[in-house]
């Protein structure tokens, strides 16, 4: 291998190009081979020198220059990309070009990144790489699956998991919900079953996009980018998106996963074998904690004994008013290690709910579009729930007030004096709430931001 420095390699070949880029002054100043002190045109030249040494002579870049690499690559990627492609093409180094293309794709626009990943052998090799799981994890998952008759052998289980892994288009996507990390939507669609479903945000969003899908022949805009195929059908049709089952298997960073925010895992139209596959995937990802939420507690109770329950599956039910308190009692009878309740949207006090046997309560108000008659929640309902959680030693997470803010909470939000013209809700105790909608959805209760988690989730907070 040559002992020439990157600068010596480029001295003759790149002199004219460097002059056009305005880097000749820097080049002369640093011809002794010093590391640049700041990122600019000079740093870009240094990166060029390193890349040339890499492509032409197999000299890998030095680790101490990694920060400069990253900053310089981000500063003028377009010119740099063209230069790298030209250099690699001249030398016909296909393997090195694949490596460089992969590096470029991580720093450019998402569409370009996706296109290059499918075009390079590096990207294709990643997609076909078999799934590898810890043997202890495989044994634990198989033991549960075998006891329930879901899998007949470890080989069959591995084949099933690997197939889901290969079909998955990517890993999980980050969620904007404050109490979770990722979203996993392998089921889309649902039907109303309680008073809390009247202004369902998932239905409103899906139906709006379904209209766009029909109007523009499956595109976001006429002759524009294609929409996800799930929007071809209305929200009322349950869709099992089997290609997304393996997405958790492609996710390496630990976190909490909200399962099917746009559906209900225990909907009557979701077959038991599909739910079992979901549970097997969850058990195969011990670095993730899966948060399942259902309003169909009766079906959950009926199927609980036919499902493989793993320690990282957190089972919850929605209790939006006093009529739904019985769901919590059915939840307590399941084998789930962590049991939780979502009191969102909170539509009435929950004084009848017994919190013993529960680990977590999430509370929040109702939200929706401006034209919808969103219902208000009195802050005393949250306070009563918070006090009950303290007494029962249950973690309490106050998500937000919803579209309505009570007059006692205005000082915390900084909206005092901003109530003119706002819709008003009169309470029997003589107090009032004001509707601010999306202007603010307050997550502070009595001056405190209450975002507690169960103790067995401490490592993820």
Provide the pLDDT for residue 15. Answer: 42
Of 411, 380, 382, residue with least CA distance to 419: 411
Confidence band, pLDDT 50/70/90 cuts, at residue 372: confident
> Could you say which DSSP state residue 353 is in?
-
Most confident segment among 17-26, 67-76, 102-111, 383-392: 383-392
Neighbours of 19 (CB within 10 A): 12
Confidence band, pLDDT 50/70/90 cuts, at residue 181: very high
The average confidence (pLDDT) of the chain is: 79
Provide the pLDDT for residue 117. Answer: 45
Cβ contacts of 305 within 8 Å, gap of 6 or more: 335
Q: Is the pLDDT of residue 65 over 70?
A: no
* Average pLDDT score over residue span 177-204: 93
pLDDT: which is higher, 257 or 421: 257
Please state the domain extents for the chain: 6-128, 173-460
Whole-model pTM above 0.85? no
Q: Is the pLDDT of residue 94 over 60?
A: no
Q: In this structure, are residues 131 and 249 in contact, taking their beta carbons and an 8 Å threshold? A: yes
Taking only the tens place, the pLDDT of each residue in 203-252 is 999 999 999 999 999 999 998 899 998 999 999 999 999 999 999 999 99
Q: Is the pLDDT of residue 2 over 50?
A: no
Of 316, 432, 414, residue with least CA distance to 363: 316
Q: Is the pLDDT of residue 301 over 90?
A: yes
> Could you say which DSSP state residue 129 is in?
S
Confidence band, pLDDT 50/70/90 cuts, at residue 302: very high
Share of the chain above pLDDT 90, in %: 54
Confidence band, pLDDT 50/70/90 cuts, at residue 26: very low
Task: Give me the phi and psi of 5, to 5 degrees please.
Answer: -75, 160
Q: Is the pLDDT of residue 339 over 80?
A: yes
Taking only the tens place, the pLDDT of each residue in 355-364 is 999 999 999 9
pLDDT: which is higher, 66 or 1: 66
pLDDT: which is higher, 87 or 392: 392
Of 383, 363, 364, 386, residue with least CA distance to 374: 364
Q: Is the pLDDT of residue 36 over 50?
A: no
Calculate helix-pair angle for 121-128, 94-105, nearest 10 degrees: 80
Q: Which two tokens stand for residue 241?
A: 């998106």
Cα dist. 275→145, 165, 287, 288, 422 in Å? 13, 17, 20, 18, 45
- 3-class DSSP state for residue 394? coil
Q: Is the pLDDT of residue 56 over 60?
A: no
Confidence band, pLDDT 50/70/90 cuts, at residue 53: low
Provide the pLDDT for residue 420. Answer: 76
């Amino acid at each position: 291998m040559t002992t020439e420095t990157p600068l010596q390699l480029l001295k003759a070949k790149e002199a004219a190009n460097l002059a056009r880029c305005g880097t000749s002054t820097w080049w002369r100043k640093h011809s002794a081979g010093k590391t640049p002190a700041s990122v600019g045109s000079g740093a870009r030249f240094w990166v060029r020198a390193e890349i040339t040494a890499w492509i032409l002579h197999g000299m890998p870049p030095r680790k101490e220059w990694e920060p400069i690499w990253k900053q310089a690559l981000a500063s003028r990627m377009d010119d740099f990309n063209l230069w790298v492609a030209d250099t690699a093409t001249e030398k016909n180094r296909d393997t090195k070009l694949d490596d460089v293309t992969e590096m470029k794709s991580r720093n450019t626009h998402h569409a370009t990144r996706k296109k290059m990943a499918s075009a390079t052998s590096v990207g294709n090799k990643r997609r076909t790489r078999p799934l590898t799981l810890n043997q202890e994890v495989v044994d634990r998952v198989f033991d549960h699956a075998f006891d329930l008759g879901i899998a007949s052998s470890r080989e069959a289980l591995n084949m099933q998991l690997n197939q889901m892994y290969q079909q998955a288009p990517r890993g999980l996507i980050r969620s904007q919900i404050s109490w979770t990390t990722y979203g996993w939507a392998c089921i889309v669609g649902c039907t109303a079953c309680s008073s809390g479903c009247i202004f369902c945000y998932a239905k409103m969003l899906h139906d709006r996009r379904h209209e766009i899908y029909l109007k523009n022949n499956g595109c976001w805009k006429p002759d524009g980018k294609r929409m996800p195929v799930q929007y071809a059908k209305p929200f009322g049709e349950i869709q099992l998106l089997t290609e997304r089952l393996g997405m958790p298997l492609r996710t390496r960073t630990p976190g909490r996963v909200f399962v099917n925010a746009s559906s209900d895992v225990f909907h009557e139209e979701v077959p038991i074998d599909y739910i079992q596959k979901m549970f097997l995937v969850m058990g195969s990802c011990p670095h993730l904690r899966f948060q399942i939420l259902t309003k169909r507690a009766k079906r959950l109770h009926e199927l609980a004994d036919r499902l493989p329950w793993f320690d990282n599956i957190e089972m919850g039910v929605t209790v939006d008013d006093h009529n739904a308190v019985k769901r919590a009692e059915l939840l307590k009878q399941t084998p789930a290690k962590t049991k939780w309740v979502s009191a969102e949207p909170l539509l009435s006090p929950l004084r009848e709910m017994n919190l013993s046997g529960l680990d977590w309560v999430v509370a929040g108000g109702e939200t929706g579009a401006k034209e919808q008659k969103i219902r208000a929640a009195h802050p005393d309902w949250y306070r009563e729930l918070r006090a009950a959680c303290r007494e029962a030693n249950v973690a309490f997470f106050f998500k937000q007030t919803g579209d309505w803010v009570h007059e006692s909470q205005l000082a915390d939000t900084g909206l005092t004096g901003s109530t003119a013209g706002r819709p008003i809700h009169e309470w029997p105790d003589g107090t009032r709430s004001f509707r601010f909608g999306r202007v603010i959805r307050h997550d502070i209760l009595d001056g405190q931001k209450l975002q507690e988690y169960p103790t067995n989730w401490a490592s993820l907070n």
